[in-house]
Homo-oligomer: A and B are copies of this chain.
Amino acid sequence: MLKDLVTKSRTFRRFYEDVTISTEELKELVELARYIPSTANSQALKFRLCNSPEETEKVFDTLGWAGALKDWDGPEKGERPSAYIIILCDLSLGKNKLYDDGIAAQTIMLGAAEKGYGGCILGNVQRNRLAEALNIDTARYSIDLVLALGKPKENVVLVPMKEDGDVRYYRDENQVHYVPKRNLEDLIV
């Protein structure tokens, strides 16, 4: 059931960093994105795969984590993502494909969940630094989103949103991560 996969595919920010993800597995995830719909069938998105320790460290240094957790700077060494898929837009084929980016990101994250991985869709990225670190030609490609991937090492629990409408996620003393979600009735206009 898709619902099982969608509910399993939570945003995770801490990982068993020693569990690696092979290039073959990353390609299988990108393969899913071959079949997604894209604006006017443009298929303008491209994908950069990173799973070597050298590259993942460079990527990590450009990311901003968990805006709502003010006293947490992101995962420590040993709990960081072991791979990334960077979603680029090939500017020779189109630009501003933000809907397509979302479609691709979710499809890949669901594929990762199916494989027992998990991660985080990151928009808080120092794009110029990342382009420089990975030699991405910014005349040809925009850096749209970074998908952080790994074997999740945290417990994420969905809870009903309180009446005050506070959407901020939080952790308890055991580092269980709670995410308030709106009710179905509140989503339907």
Chain A residues with a Cβ under 8 A of chain B: 1-3, 5-7, 9, 11, 27, 30-37, 39-43, 45-49, 67-68, 88, 98-107, 109-111, 114, 121, 123, 136, 141, 145, 158, 167-169, 179-184, 187-189
Contact = CB atoms under 8 A, between A and B. Distances in A.
A121 B102 CA distance: 13
Contacts of A168: 41
Nearest to A109: B37
A125 to B, nearest CB: 13
Nearest to A100: B102
A149 to B, nearest CB: 14
A187 B30 contact: yes
The oligomer's copy count stands at 2
23 contacts: A2-B32, A2-B107, A2-B111, A2-B114, A3-B31, A3-B35, A6-B32, A6-B35, A9-B35, A9-B37, A27-B184, A34-B183, A35-B181, A40-B167, A41-B167, A41-B179, A41-B180, A42-B167, A48-B188, A99-B123, A102-B102, A103-B106, A106-B107
Contacts of A158: 35
Given A2-B5, A42-B167, A102-B105, 10 more contacts: A6-B107, A7-B35, A9-B37, A41-B168, A99-B101, A99-B105, A102-B102, A102-B103, A103-B103, A103-B105
A36 B189 contact: no
A156 B182 CA distance: 36
Contacts of A189: 46-48, 88, 136, 141
A109 B103 CA distance: 10
A141 to B, nearest CB: 7
Given A99-B105, A101-B99, A188 B30 contact: yes
